[in-house]
Amino acid sequence: MTHPLKSEFPVTPITPPNPEVVSVEIIKGKAHHLRGEIHDALYWYRQSVLNHPTCSLSYFHLGEALLALNKLPAALTAYCKGLACHPTAQKLNFYPPPQGILATNKNSQIEKVFVLLKNRCRQLISCGIYEIKSGLQQDSRIVWFGALQNLEELESKVSEIINYFPKEQEMLAEFRQELDDKLLGDIDSPSDLTSVTWELEKQMVYSINDAIIDKTILSKLQEVAREKRRFEKTYAELLYRVQHFVKERKDYSPYLSEQVQKAVVSTLKADEIRSHLLHSVYRKYQLYNAASFGTSVVLNARKIQLRGGIASYEFTRKDLAYQFAKEIDCPIPLNADTVVTLAEIQPQEHIVIKPLTQANSKGAYMVKQADDILDLGRRKPLQHWTELEAGLREDLETGTVTEDKWIVQELIYEDAERTQPARDLKFYCFYGEVALILEICRFPEKQFCWWNAKLEQIKTGLYEDKRFTGAGVTPEQIKFAASMSAKIPTPFIRIDFLKGWQGLVFCEFAALFPGEYHGLTDSIDTWLGNCFLDAEGRLMEDLLRGKKFEAYWRVHERLKAELMAKGEGETVDSGECQSF
């Protein structure tokens, strides 16, 4: 728990005059506390709690010391215990006081301690709710579960005393309902099974969260992974056996059996469909849900690990991507296929500087005027060319950019008056077919709009909080992007263009890492996964028929010649050049 409202918590070691009990340990602790020796004071307050566990004043001072050290959760625990054992709360008095305690008999002073404890509890409960809510910046199920875990811990701390705070009790209840709605809101009619899987999911997330702060984090993560696999296997086996249980039903019929089998197949993941089931159903039912775009992207990365590269891997080098675009007469920015070093970059206007191989705007800069420069990677405006040069050097020194190779290209504008930089159009291409288009307007702030190939705006699950109504694309532009992807022997590639005032201008390829995909809805992920599989099949058929990818191979051969000319032992089998 952080301390967002620290100014509202003036920490003081001064106790009310003549409290109900003042232990010797409290007196010693106060002496240290007044001198600013908080850790020493904390020791004596803890001793007071240990020796006098029913003394609410001991807990109050312990809480004050913990608060001074910014340990808010521990302070709240101390205040709650003090309030719970306070005589006003328990409707009893401490007379005679325990041995070793100096006592007074003024109930009015006892009430002051009660009020102080209540105020502290109220403040810290509100502070705890505020902090948990402030962490809900990301629309993520894991974030919601983390908030629920923190809320349950807060509720546990205050369970004994929460009845004294009806307003805060209502706030906790409303916040819990809000989280429940987020986590269970997509379930129309919760069942007993929903409750069971909900608890399993919650415990899984809690275990991971606990593992993060555990000293044995690796073993904890391995344990969670084992339990996850065990649960998934049990789940898959249960669904597999359902089709056999159906035969024992009184209302059994071949139709019911077929429908159950179809439902089971549509529910299981690809690696959960057993061979016997696959053999009996693959001709009867579509295995549509077995496909996953995210899985295909990861498997592509694994292929590169195994083989050193895949077709289109060369295009991680931007100069080679621009050379390919020129080969097929696709417009590119001026000088985009020329590589320079940092020492060769001269001050100029209306340009973009970007590293040869980095992605996601890392190490990229946009220069409109000498005093109007934007560090795209850090989203930071710069006022002078010397600041840009310092940023470039820092990128190299910190490893943000791995080698001193840069492209200095023309800045493409959306309008002929050069007032607005061009927006992005990212085409998700599956070997000759376009499935999705992502339109991005970057200024004055990033906004996103998704389109399908029918020119319909759609929701994909990504960037929903930053959506806008884009200008869209034309059928001719979709056709051009599709034909461009058909010239590259790979099942998937994202082709990025800039929508300039003069038309589409090629920007870059993204084959291995096509941006975010884990936030896609299940239906979109499955759809794109099937697009990927279909493209693999069509590509294989074309290769078997002897299709020549001439423009691609010309660029590939130039890279091969470049590597061999270096004379550093690199061959066509190096990771930089190998494609298949």
pLDDT, position 195: 64
- For 389-430, give the DSSP string: HHHHHHHHHHTSS-SS-EEEEEPPBSSTTS-SBPEEEEEEE-
The domains found in the chain, sorted by start residue, are 1-187 (1.25.40.10), 217-290 (no CATH), 303-333+418-580 (3.30.470.20), 334-410 (no CATH)
CB 265, CB 273: distance < 8 Å: yes
In whole angstroms, give the CA distance from residue 529 to residue 292.
4
Pairing of strands 434-441, 101-103: unpaired
- DSSP secondary structure string for all residues of 475-508: HHHHHHHHHHHTTSSSS-EEEEEEEETTEEEEEE
In 213-285, which ranges are continuous DSSP H helix? Answer: 217-245, 254-267, 275-281
Tell me the three state secondary structure of residue 232: helix
pLDDT value for 215: 65
3-state helix, strand, coil in the chain (%, to 5): 55, 10, 35
Task: Name the token pair of 102.
Answer: 């100096």
pLDDT value, residue 224: 74
300-332 tens-digit pLDDT: 989 988 988 888 888 888 999 999 999 999 999
pLDDT at residue 421, rounded to an integer: 93
Grouping H, G, I as helix, E, B as strand and the rest as coil, residue 571 is: coil
Q: Is there a contact between 315 and 484 (Cβ–Cβ < 8 Å)?
A: no
**Stated pTM of the model:** 0.69
Q: Give the full edge-to-edge strand order of the sheet including 434-441.
A: 457-458, 447-452, 434-441, 423-429, 493-500, 503-510
Instruction: Output b/e per residue, 329-367; b: 16+ Cβ within 10 A.
Output: ebbbbeebbeebeeeebeeeeebbbbbbbbbebbbbbbb
**pLDDT score for 214:** 66
Q: What Rg, from alpha-carbon coordinates, does the chain have?
A: 33
Contact 361, 388 (CB under 8 A): no
pLDDT of residue 546: 96
- Distance CA(387)–CA(380), nearest Å, equals 11
Q: Hey, is 523 helix, strand or coil?
A: helix
Distance CA 496, CA 509 (A): 6
Neighbouring CB atoms inside 10 A of 260's CB total 18
Q: Under a CB-based contact definition with an 8 Å cutoff, are residues 467 and 447 in contact?
A: yes
What is the pLDDT, as a whole number, of residue 573? Answer: 39
Give residue for tokens 């039903």: 249
pLDDT < 50 stretches in the chain: 1-9, 11-20, 92-106, 568-580
Cα–Cα distance measured from residue 420 to residue 439, given in angstroms and rounded to the nearest whole number? 15
pLDDT, tens digit, 9 for 90 and up, residues 87-118: 776 553 333 344 443 344 445 677 888 889 99
Quote the pLDDT of residue 572. Answer: 38
> How far is CA 543 from its chain centroid?
39
Which residues sit opposite 503 in a β-bridge?
A: 500
- Tell me if 494 sits within 8 A of 511, measured CB to CB: yes
Helix (H, G, I), strand (E, B) or coil at 46: helix
Question: If you write DSSP's letter for every residue of 58-80 in order, what string do you get?
Answer: HHHHHHHHHHHTT-HHHHHHHHH
Task: Give the closest residue to 333 by CA, choosing from 314, 351, 346.
Answer: 351
* pLDDT at residue 405, as a whole number: 93
Structure tokens given for 119: 């105020």
41: its two tokens: 């004071």
Distance CA 516, CA 46 (A): 50
